[in-house]
Structures are given as structure tokens and as C-alpha cells.
Structure 1
Amino acid sequence: MIHPMASVDPTAKLGKNVTVDPFTMIHEDVVIGDNSWIGPNVTIFPGAQIGKNCKIFPGSVIAGIPQDLKFKGEESTVIIGDNTTVRECVTISRGTVDKQTTIIGSDCLLMAYVHVAHDCAIGSHVIVANSVQIAGHVSIDDWAIIGGSSAVHQFVRIGMHSMVSGGSLVRKDVPPFTKAAREPLSYAGVNSLGLRRRGFSSETIAHVQEVYRYLFLNSMNNSKALEEIEVNLPATKERDEILNFIRSSERGVMKGYIN
């Protein structure tokens, strides 16, 4: 399954039924899981660990050294979960001494020309559309969707089940279950359609909307809104996910609704 015009280091560990197309180079210290397809003209550098049933399309570069001037050649990795698709010309940098790894979860889709910088942690079932540029140390939680040509500032966190509009400049954290749009990036409602598609009940979605009314639509600062939510709204998994996200935010969260 390895084309004779591909170059695969003999110490690389390839699982069963792995296909490697021509003009691809796979370096030492690489692991690729069963049934994965590595297309033509792909470069996989040392430190890459790719799961089962993955598809890596032409021109992609996996586990290149970080574009970080503080990087001193330390050993680090890129870990990609099972069933993830990496489309054309995607670049994923390996970690630095900070976290030592860059992680892409399972069942993700990274569309063409996406860049994922060093020390990022992307969850599972995440969709990153064409030409999104993700700076270092970014965290993107499960089921998030990032619209095409967006740019995500370093150290930003994007919450689970959120959706970021195409062309966005993401400078602040995006809380879970929300839609983010406009410039500067701000709250554009709850991602109701996405939540319904994933089996959330109407009651749960209404509850999430009520939480965000306190946070973004009632003209209270975040500290006061969090207090009011805890007093007035019943504790649920979704409510507590939102509260914990807001409280743990280091960069601050995006703005509320802007007319």
C-alpha cells in the first residue's frame, strides 16, 4: 500500500492497510493507525501520531517545527485522533516546551489551507472551515464550528457546540452553545440549530437561552450576571458548563449583543 515513489522512514510505524501515495515523505518517529490514507505530496515530520481511518490530503504538512522564536528544538508531538480528515495544504505545528503537544481530536474536519499552530488543543467532532488561521495555545472544545477565513488569536478558548461566523477575528473567548459574529466579535444568539441536530431538547435549548439572557442581554456585568444565574436558574450540566467557562476565562469573553 506504499507507493514506490513515496519515501517512508523504515522506523515509522504504519498500521494495517495504510495507503501512502507518491511523492509523500514520512519521517522517523511517526505513527499512523490502521486504514488511514496519506495522499500525494504530504510531509509528515517526526513526532506525528495519527489515528485510525484518517485521511490526509495532498500538500499537507503535519508536525512541522513551530513558528515560534522561543522554540529550541525540544522533542514534541502532534496527536491526531481517529476518523479525522485533513484537507489540502493544511499545516499543523508540533508543540513547544509549554505543552509539548498539539492535539486534534477524533472525527474532525480541517478544510483546505487551515493552519493549527503549536500547543493547540482541538476537541472531537470539530469543523474548521477553509483558510482558518489558529494561533498558538488555542483551545477549541468538542463540536465547535469555525467559519472560513477566520483568525483566532493565541490563548483564545472556543467553547463546545459554538459556531463562529466566517471571516471573524476571534480575540476573546467564545462561550459554549453560542453563535459568534460581527466586528468586534459578539454574541449572536444560541446555536439552536446545531444543538437540535445533536439531540438537545427544546427545554434544554430554552434553558441555555435564558442563561445567556442574563449574561448578554440584561446590561449586567459578568460577575453580577453569574450571581443572578446561580440564584434564579436551576443547576444543569449546560448551566454549569457556561458558568465554569466564564469564570475560568483568562482573556475575557466576547461582547454581548451589539445593534
Structure 2
Amino acid sequence: GLAPTDLDAIVFATVSPDHFIPGNGVFLQRPLGVGTIPALDIRQACSGFIYGLSVADAWIRAGMFRRILVVGQEIQSTGMDVSDNGRNTAVIFADGAGAVVLEATDDPNRGLLAFDLHSQGEFAEMLWVDSPGSMYHPEISHKDLDDGKQYLQMDGKEVFRHAVTRMPESVNAVVGKLGLGIGDISLLLAHQANLRIAEMVQRKLDLRDDQVYNNIQQYGNTTAATIPILLDECVRGGRVKEGDLVVLTAFGAGFSWGSVACRW
């Protein structure tokens, strides 16, 4: 029931922007016709939507804005090495987009209740794109292209090992901030990195099948878009009802990870 002009700000999470400069936020702002509202881009890869929610939540709590559009979007298909050299990434990563409107509420027991956010830069090169980059002159060279440095590089074993540890830790931490336990979770929506990771997270948290939802088998890993797509499908499918405790969690490049607990 809202119009684009009801928005006060845009937070746009992506690591695959249409252009190097400026970010995608303003390119979305323009066709929406929302005037000169601020549009902020963040580059937190797979955890981008969680971080985007945290920024929007903080803005609203500070009284800066009342209604914020938070977007997670990726175009991965144009950045994949589809040769045998890139088979460990090209078969997983995909394109997608999802968004929510975050709005202030007067009910202290509803909405986004707690966040848990982390990063660990010592593992940055375990999941990254080396070039183009401003540390190089020129930012990309013919040799870089020949060496495939423009493609996503991933150490799959390291990503798996950290993801199945950090996401359960973060989920426990965020519900702990509320004085609750894992058994209080109505629905966990975990970043769709791959199905093995999602299933391992479920086992480590000892969650029932009705407490989780996965769709990577349909869409692949859409990076910052996986969680809003999950959330949309669960809302449309009746998996979320008023009063449910919904926890969103993600892990990705950086490494960066985090969770948010929401009372629907």
C-alpha cells in the first residue's frame, strides 16, 4: 500500500554493481522517482542484506528516517569463469534480487530486535575478485585478464569450514541477546551458499525441518539476494505468521557474517 515517494532512504547491498562508480543505489533511485532521498551502497557480499538491515535499523532508531528500502541484488552471471577453471564457482553463483521496506514501529516487542555482526579480514583472499582494483595501475591489465583475475576465486573448503562454524555461533549469540534459546526460533533463514552448508547449520543448531527453509536448489547462490528471496517465499507461502521469531543469518566474503532476530 505504499508509493515510492513514501520512502525516506535506500540501502543497496551488492558486490556486482552495474558500474564501478557510482553505486547501484542511485540507479535504482532514479527510475523510482523518489526525489533526492539518500541512497547508500554497501559491499558486504553474502552478508550484505544483514548489514543493510542493521544500517537501516540504526537510522530509524536514531530518528533520521522512518521508512527505508533495503535491497539485496546481484548479477553474478557476467562475472563467472565458465571454463573448467571456474567450475567450482560457476555452478553455484547466480543472479537475483529482493527487497524489504523497513519502517518504524511503536511496539518494542516487534520488528528487528537484535543483531550480531562480525568480520575477519585475515581470510579476505579465500573468497575474492583480485582485479580490477585501484591498488593496481592500470586497474586491470591484459595480463590480469589472461590470468583470470577478473573472476571470482574461492577456496571452497575454507569457506565451508568457517561458514558452518560462524553461522551457528552467530545465531546462538543473537537469540542469547534476547534471553532466548534456539528452541524459541520459529524459522531460521540462512544464506543459501550451498545446500550442504545449510544442512550442516541446521544439524549444529538441532533445528527441525519445519524450522528452516532452503531454495538454493531452485535459484543458486544469489549472494546478497538470497535472504530477501527466502523471506519473500516464506511470507507468500504462509511459513511466517504474526508473533513468530524469525532469525536471518549469513556468511560470506571478507570473511564477514552476522545474524538478526526479528519478531514478526
Q: Do these two structures clear the TM 0.5 threshold for a shared fold by scoring above it?
A: no
Q: Which has the larger radius of gyration?
A: 1
> Relative contact order: is structure 1 or structure 2 higher (C-alpha 8 Å, sep ≥ 6)?
2
